[in-house]
Amino acid sequence: FGEGARRAKEAGFDAVEIHGTHGYIINEFLSPYSNKREDEYGKDFEGRLRLALEVLQRIKEKAGNEFPVIYRINGDECVEGGITLEVTKRIARRLEEAGADAFHVTAGVGESSYNSVQPMAMPRGCKAHLAQGVKQVVNVPIISAGRINHPEVAEEILEQNKADFVAMGRTLLCDQEMPNKALEGEIDDIRVCIACNQKCINKLLGAEQEPIGCALNVRTGREAEFPMTKVDKKKKVLIVGAGPAGLEAARVAALRGHRVDLFEKEERIGGQINLISSVPGREEFKEVISYYQSQIPKLGINLVLNHPVSAEEIEGMSPDVVIFATGATPLLPDLPGIDSPRVVSAWDVIRGECALGERVVVLGGGSVGACTVDSLRKLGKKVTIVEMLEDIALDMEPLTKKLFIKELTSDGKVKIWTGTRATEISEEGVVVERGWEKILLGDIDNVVLALGATSNKDLIDKLAGKLRNYHIVGDAKKPRKVTEAVEEGFEAAYRI
């Protein structure tokens, strides 16, 4: 640590930060949850504190007492028997005495990692109270972190004197110009991080260890690959569908200098984002729609709503390029009893378009089915979820899933059947198979289908062979997540 700080100083850095949180080595020594040693580096508070003090002392020895050292400290490990805010206050006072020049306050360890990188279900600025607690007992600057994704959130933390500075990570992956836009008053132009974690933390923690990016900003980490310059030849671009893929395609095509017509059959833009953003805990998705709503008029995009454009119209407009972003619809399996009036789609449930009884079986345990179950649970329904695979929500980002499953199973209202396949919907209930066993899930009022989606390709099929240049993006290509939709929309438009 000391040599690292010395080299950083010699390289021209103005300060270093000790990472003493999130379950890393110094945090492990500090915590009674993880430190079970019986020697001078454990046993009691003083022993557990020893390594942190020695690290700080060595840095000061090697880099000089005047070289600033920020200590990133765990305000609350959020595990039973771990460091709490009151313990952190004691630690902070001792570290300040030893020469810490500022504290960067965070939370969580591996077992409670959703407190370290908070998913969208957690409130904005949700860890600022920890920074405030530390600020009350020390006399050095305090930095607050955790879901600070908007200038208003940052300003509120500072105005309420909870911290002296705010730290942003994912926020700046989503929009690197956010501070400059805030400074210039261009708030509507900020692409707000929704804490979906799909392309940042998910990539970092995934088995492939891929480079991180941003689900909403394709250029993050790829700026050199996609310089946002104007094209030499302006083209007439027609985009069908104003979901995330179509919206991003329209934005990029317009930025590059093309003339863009964007057709949407519904009365509003957003596609399935309107669906997911109505689910409790997923409201942040509304920010995606807000961003595109602000950009469409500024970029001169011709948006036509309530207009299911026909194949004949498209041919008549003679576009240079057509981008099909026609989305998907719920998949209806070939299952006996599927036509029963008791059977509804998860999409209709989420939209609030159907009334359900008290006892509900949800078929399909992907993220759509799991979120539907959670919504019904919060309404007081008794819900059973049936999933063929070994677990539910396997397509959900790991940190989001960890918090989600904890809450889903917290009250015992949800029964989870994994490794189970529905074979029939009858008057008596739902017949399922688990291994060689057939089981009747009876005494139910409704069955909700969340078995995936199928691409809308009718319009594409009608125009096959009639268009010179076209692209299929998003769920129209293959039903997936918003990150693939945005990326495909971006790349299709950029290549024009």
Q: Annotated catalytic sites, by residue?
A: 24
Question: In Å, how far are 328, 370, 425 from 387, measured between CA atoms?
Answer: 21, 10, 15
- Which positions ≥6 away from 334 have C-beta within 8 Å? none
| Edge-to-edge strands, sheet with 382-386 | 343-345, 446-449, 359-363, 382-386, 414-417
Q: Nearest to residue 407, comparing CAs of 111, 121, 147, 127?
A: 121
Asked if 256 and 231 count as a contact pair (C-beta separation under 8 A), the reply is yes
Q: Nearest to residue 198, comparing CAs of 122, 120, 290, 109?
A: 120
Question: In Å, how far are 52, 110, 310 from 214, measured between CA atoms?
Answer: 34, 23, 34
Q: Nearest to residue 300, comparing CAs of 242, 245, 247, 258?
A: 258
Asked if 473 and 485 count as a contact pair (C-beta separation under 8 A), the reply is yes
10 Å Cβ neighbour count for 423?
Answer: 13
Task: For the chain, report the end-to-end CA distance as a whole number of angstroms.
Answer: 50
Residue that is written with structure tokens 């890393």 in the block:
24
Task: Name the pairing type of β-strands 470-472 and 321-324.
Answer: parallel
